[in-house]
Every structure is written in structure tokens, then in C-alpha cells.
Amino acid sequence: MSDCSADLDAEIRRLRIRIIGLTTRQLDEAVDGAMEAADDLDPGSDRADPPRPRREIISEALTDFSALASGGRAVPVLGDQSLADQVVVLLEHGVAAASALPPDERDLLLSRLLRAATGLRRALA
């Protein structure tokens, strides 16, 4: 297991715990936060978002995770109780998809997923 893979596994656990711990009121609460761009189109640049509800930030991240590793398939809206599970499933799917790629592409996808997951966790703080 590469360092990036281990870091992503740890980040997935942190996100799951963080999202499960959010109440409906906290999901509705608008927060300031910058989510790092998950792609390399604008390296080193963070998006400075206006305050938005945590639920919206998580939904956007789900779309980003799908774009990275699932061909941009639509992510169903399943409700607050499923947000953490959706995050975990999409990230773990990304890890599985990466394992089928050549080493350079695998490392790139894993680092993008790690960056996106870390950005989500920080934005939810």
C-alpha cells in the first residue's frame, strides 16, 4: 500500500466520522471554507467559496468524487443519513478504480482523491 493510499484510507475514516457527527442543524449551517480544487487545471489554487451550508458542500464534493473516478455519473440525493456512506462509497470506488490503472495514473488519481477528501474535511470544520 502506497503512502497516498494509506493517507486516503485515513482521510476516508476521518470524513465518515466527521459527517456522521453532523446534526441536521449543523448541515444547514453556512460555513466559510475553502475547498481545494481536486484537479490539476489550476494547481496550487484554492476556491474561496462564500459561506454555504455544509450539506451543499458535501453534495458538491460527491459530484467531484464522481467526476474523478466514476465518469461523472449522477450522484443520487439519498438524504442526510446517507451522506457519510455516499462519501465513503465514492472514495472507496475511486481507490478500486485506481488499482486497475498503470502506476503513474494510479498515483495521480489517488493524490487527486486525497486532495479532494482533505479539502472536504477542512471545508466542513
pLDDT tens figures, 74-121: 999 888 999 999 999 999 999 999 999 999 999 999 999 999 999 999
The answer, yes or no, to whether residue 41 has pLDDT greater than 60, is no
R_g (Cα) of the chain, nearest Å: 14
Q: What is the reported pLDDT for 48? A: 60
Average per-residue pLDDT for the chain: 88
DSSP summary character for residue 81: G
What gap in Å lies between CA 67 and CA 84, rounded to an integer?
18
What gap in Å lies between CA 22 and CA 4, rounded to an integer?
27
Which backbone phi and psi does 21 adopt, to 5 degrees?
-75, -5
